[in-house]
Amino acid sequence: MTLGSFRLLLLGAPGAGKGTITRKLRDVVPSLNSISSGDLLRREIQAETKLGSIASKYIDKGRLIPDELIISLVSNHISTLSQKGMGAQWLLDGFPRTLHQATALHDILEPRNQCLTHVVELVVPEEAILGRIETRYVHVPSGRVYNLSYNPPKVPGRDDVTGEPLEKRSDDNEETVKRRLKAYNEMAQPLRDFYGSRGLLHTASGDTSDIIFPKVLEALKK
Ligand code: AMP
């Protein structure tokens, strides 16, 4: 299937399947560049940088990193990518999460003629999310996500591509997830309003990523 050029923001609660949808999109668009703010932060933590040590204190409590820190991390990453050429299709996951971040992102992208073309919110019932997060594992360097119930690694505990160990995210426990879900529900409406008023917002809902993914593809054709 061919898709035109798109610059996509994926919105969705923690555990809504943003990482899985990204992987499925990459199967369709192998040159897809994806930027996940959570993955960038986890790499900073793994590399034991100063930013990583600040970030981990917020992440472990399920709280948002201060806007200025995350804006500068993502904007540096976008600058590095755009020097190499961002490609015709790319996506953002996990950023922006606040209105301030959304306007900062707009100010970064507009001068590059790279404003977002689509915003798709993944909508998954909360019971489905709580069930899947308990069995979720991640390969930190790549951001690849596994689930022991429906998408297990080929070798238990190891990444399929590199064979490196998988990790359980420190914030994937019920208490922190509930706090993150609450935070998502509070932050989502201003973003829906911001992107809805610009005619960019689409919704893709369902219990599983297999149900949601075709809806994401449909949205990208609009
Ligand atoms: P995620 O992998 O998107 O679920 O992000 C994991 C955690 O990283 C979040 O719970 C926040 O603590 C932090 N984080 C990721 N992206 C952002 C953002 N755009 N603004 C603030 N904090 C963020």
CATH label of the domain that carries residue 21: 3.40.50.300
Band the pLDDT of 166: cuts 50, 70, 90.
very high
Domain span at 14: 7-36+89-220
Q: Is 122 domain-assigned?
A: yes
Tell whether 11 is covered by a domain: yes
Percentages helix, strand, coil for the chain (3-state, rounded to 5) are: 50, 20, 35
- pLDDT tens digits along 63-106: 899 999 999 999 999 988 888 887 889 999 999 999 999 999 99
In a domain, 49, yes or no: no
Full-model pTM: 0.91
Query: To test the ligand 1 pocket, which listed residue (35, 39, 41) has its Cβ within 8 A of the most ligand atoms?
Result: 41
Confidence of residue 1 (pLDDT cuts 50, 70, 90): low
Give the chain's domain count. Answer: 1
Structural domain includes residue 62: no
Report which ligand 1 atom has the smallest distance to the Cα of 14: 4
Query: What are the phi and psi torsion angles at 202 (to 5°)?
Result: -130, 160
Burial zone of 110 (CB within 10 Å; 0-12 exposed, 13-18 middle, 19+ buried):
exposed
Within a domain: residue 170? yes
